[in-house]
Amino acid sequence: MNAPVRDPSSIGERLSATGTANALEMRGVSKFFGALGAMQDINLTVRPGERHAVLGSNGAGKTTLFNCVTGDFPVSGGSIRFFGEDITQFPPHERIRRGLRRTYQISLLFTGLSVLDNVYLAATGVSRSRFSFFRPRRNDALMASAENLVRVVHLEDAKDAIVAELSYGQQRQLEIAMALAGAPRFILFDEPAAGLSPTERSELVEILLGLPGHMGFIIIEHDMDVALRVAERVTMMHNGRVFKEGNPAEIEDDEEVQALYLGGAHG
Amino acid sequence: MASTDDQSTERANAGESPTWVERIPAAYWALIVVLLIMPAIAGDFILYQIFGWTFILGMIALSLMFLAGYGGMVSLVQMTIASVAGYMTAIFGVSAIETISLGWPWYVTIPLALIVAMIFGTISGWLAVRTEGIYTIMITLAIAAAWFYFTNQNYTIFNGFSGFNGILPPQLFGVDWRGPVAFYYLTLFWATVAFLVVLYLSRAPFGLTLQGVRDNPRRMAALGYNVTAHRVAAYTFASLLAGVGGILLTWQSAQISPGTAGIGPVIDVLVIAVIGGLRHPIGPFIGAFIYVILKTFALDALVAVDLSGERFQLLIGIGFLVIVFWSPDGILGLWSKFRAARNKDPLLDRGGDAS
């Protein structure tokens, strides 16, 4: 429904998209800002439903990776396939309508609108009533799903509050609710735990672990406790390249990773 | 820029269950009644020249308020779109320039004029939405200037400098719609419809989306919205408002010429919208009323104090400066400041209607 078939010849491709194809497949993706290689020759494969963590120091290219996947930045080279479909040249909104979602490291919310309105906008963005001239009715399905998402992230008490009045932690929760709107297939979480209190962190882990099994995600996270608890696979990035890949236990025990994280002099 | 105070109060009202009749404050009912019985208390000049013109200019400025207030796009092309609708009414319909006017009936002419105006506005918008801020202003001003000089110099279709005269509204239901009372109700009706539609849209997905695009286009794209398409659609809708205003404006003076959408009137629309306030659809009508009063009576006032009457623009300019300086949100902003000050609790020092 949110992935309109444009060309009959691509139906085969789309059918395969729901079946065996990988959720995300990056082949040789690079991003240069002028001469600066923010991301070079990235190969990354995430299976449907897989929970994947991307670790790395500041400037390792993690957020650039997200921006290339969502289309916020055009890539300098390589290809990105989303459930089998080549989305490398798609504008952001087309990728989102195919079931991709993201949260932002620095919250990008509509601060003048209420919590519910923010989530409602997110739910409407991937629906057919984007251009509707009619206000939602009392039993509106999108509004109902928005209210439901507000409950999922424990914001029901603040649903009519203006976003600018929310605490930082609540704004982060709202970010997640907006990413969950409209049946996502795959979500990119950009440092969702940054700036949260320990209590809020465990709430976040609970929300992430509680996501439906088919909903894969990539999480960028500095907090190893959060990242390694929710992820099944971990990719370590360093200076714009993939440095290590493995399961959480392997990464945790890896000496090179420990050197980078504990004794790491690389900014 | 524009805040959403009006929305939150509206939301607060919507939470309770009184009927919509009860939700409208008494002061508004008084205003509605006064507007409805105006023909009984005001003379023809007031009805036709002051209120008729206020409602028309208010509608054209409302189309700008919709774009600028909700969409963050300052367009100087709204008066031009109104003029396109006016010209189309003259060209397709009946005017004194019989060699050009096609003389088609009103039920063909008016929809056609509105469609052409919407196409014109959509193309202008499509060109303008790729830019932001001052560049949007420049592009729309360039389109407005191009239209002015084109109509001024083209004689085969637009009859050049003198334009068209003798453009009259249809004698529908046997009423002479240019009669002062009839014209007052005609303009009041359409202004009210335009106002209510914009008010309603501000909370419908289309309006909410537009406000989202204004505040955070990148996030809107990341929610699956085609930001460019929404901005262009906003221009299309605003063109409909401006087009209706343009047809009424043409009927009011029974003529349309390049000067109708000259550089001066084009900028006046922006002045009207800013003076009134861009935050709420009532703002453009307040701004239009002040503008019309100044434009009509400043001349007499100036002559009375021995100044040249043509300097009324000076008064408008000074008024504009004062309002923008004291209240960037226009008269509406002054009003809400006044309300906040009056409701301030002296002990808690908190604004009464802070929402």
A93 touches chain B (CB under 8 A): yes
Amino acid at the residue B86? G
At residue B189, the pLDDT reads 92
Q: Which chain B residue has its CA at the smallest distance from A98's CA?
A: B224
Tell me: the pLDDT tens digits for B117-137? 999 999 999 999 888 878 889
Q: What is the C-alpha separation between A54 and A242, in angstroms, rounded?
A: 9
Terminal Cα distance for chain B, rounded: 17
Q: What is the C-alpha separation between B28 and B170, in angstroms, rounded?
A: 33
At residue B149, the pLDDT reads 93
pLDDT band at B83 (very low <50, low <70, confident <90, very high): very high
Tell me: the pLDDT tens digits for B291-335? 888 888 877 777 777 777 667 777 778 877 887 787 777 778 777
Give phi and psi for B246, each to the nearest 5: -65, -40
Closest residue to A72, CB basis, from B15, B201, B218: B218
The distance of A218 to chain B (nearest Cα, Å) reads 16
Q: What is the C-alpha separation between A123 and A181, in angstroms, rounded?
A: 5
Q: Please report residues of B whose CB lies closer than 8 A to that of A72.
A: 218, 221-222
The DSSP annotation for B244-283 comes to HHHHHHHHHHTEE-GGGGSHHHHHHHHHHHHHH-SSSTTH
Closest residue to A112, CB basis, from B3, B219, B227: B3
A247 touches chain B (CB under 8 A): no
Q: Please report residues of B whose CB lies closer than 8 A to that of A132.
A: 204-206
Pick the more confident residue, B144 or B349. Answer: B144
* Cβ–Cβ below 8 Å for A132 and B204: yes
Which residues make Cβ contacts (< 8 Å) with residue B201, sequence separation at least 6?
A133, B66, B207, B237
Q: Please report residues of A whose CB lies closer than 8 A to that of B10.
A: none
* Cβ–Cβ below 8 Å for A131 and B227: no
Q: What is the C-alpha separation between A142 and B200, in angstroms, rounded?
A: 19
The tokens describing A119, both together, are: 């989530």
Radius of gyration of chain B (CA): 21
Q: Please report residues of B whose CB lies closer than 8 A to that of A100.
A: none
Q: Please report residues of B whose CB lies closer than 8 A to that of A179.
A: none
Write the burial class of residue A76 (CB in 10 Å: 0-12 exposed, 13-18 middle, 19+ buried): middle
Closest residue to B209, CB basis, from A104, A130, A181: A130
Average pLDDT over residues B274-280: 85
* Cβ–Cβ below 8 Å for B205 and A130: yes
Which of A134-143, B45-54, B231-240 has the weakest average pLDDT? A134-143
Average pLDDT over residues B84-102: 86
* Cβ–Cβ below 8 Å for B222 and A131: no
Which residues make Cβ contacts (< 8 Å) with residue A23, sequence separation at least 6?
A46, A47, A48, A49, A50, A82, A83, A185, A186, A216
The candidate with the shortest Cα–Cα distance to B8, out of A113, A46, A81, is A113
Between chain A and chain B, the number of residue pairs with CB atoms below 8 A apart is 95
Q: Which chain B residue has its CA at the smallest distance from A134's CA?
A: B204
Pick the more confident residue, B76 or A139. Answer: B76
B16 touches chain A (CB under 8 A): no
At residue B351, the pLDDT reads 43
A78 close to A41: Cβ distance less than 8 angstroms? yes
The tokens describing B335, both together, are: 């009003």
Q: Which chain A residue has its CA at the smallest distance from B200's CA?
A: A135
Given a cut of 90, is residue B248 above it in pLDDT? Answer: yes
Average pLDDT over residues B107-125: 93
Q: What is the C-alpha separation between A93 and A100, in angstroms, rounded?
A: 9
State chain B's mean pLDDT as an integer: 83
The tokens describing B123, both together, are: 């193309």
A52 close to A234: Cβ distance less than 8 angstroms? yes
The distance of B215 to chain A (nearest Cα, Å) reads 7
At residue B118, the pLDDT reads 94
Closest residue to A110, CB basis, from B11, B212, B227: B212
Amino acid at the residue A94? E
Percent of chain B with pLDDT over 90: 30
Per-residue pLDDT 10s for chain A (267 aa) are: 444 444 444 444 444 445 568 888 898 888 888 888 888 888 888 888 889 998 888 888 888 888 899 988 888 888 999 988 888 889 988 899 888 998 888 778 888 888 888 898 888 887 777 777 777 776 678 888 888 888 888 888 888 888 888 888 888 889 888 888 888 889 999 888 888 888 888 888 888 888 888 888 999 988 788 888 888 888 888 888 888 888 888 887 888 777 776 654 444
> What is the value of pTM for the model shown?
0.78
Write the burial class of residue B292 (CB in 10 Å: 0-12 exposed, 13-18 middle, 19+ buried): buried
Q: Please report residues of A whose CB lies closer than 8 A to that of B203.
A: 135
Terminal Cα distance for chain A, rounded: 44
The DSSP annotation for A47-66 comes to -TT-EEEEE--TTSSHHHHH
At residue A55, the pLDDT reads 86
The distance of B16 to chain A (nearest Cα, Å) reads 13
pLDDT band at B246 (very low <50, low <70, confident <90, very high): very high
At residue B195, the pLDDT reads 93
At residue B17, the pLDDT reads 54
Pick the more confident residue, B345 or B203. Answer: B203
Q: Please report residues of B whose CB lies closer than 8 A to that of A93.
A: 221, 224-227
Pick the more confident residue, B157 or B270. Answer: B270
Given a cut of 70, is residue B18 above it in pLDDT? Answer: no
The tokens describing B329, both together, are: 């949100």
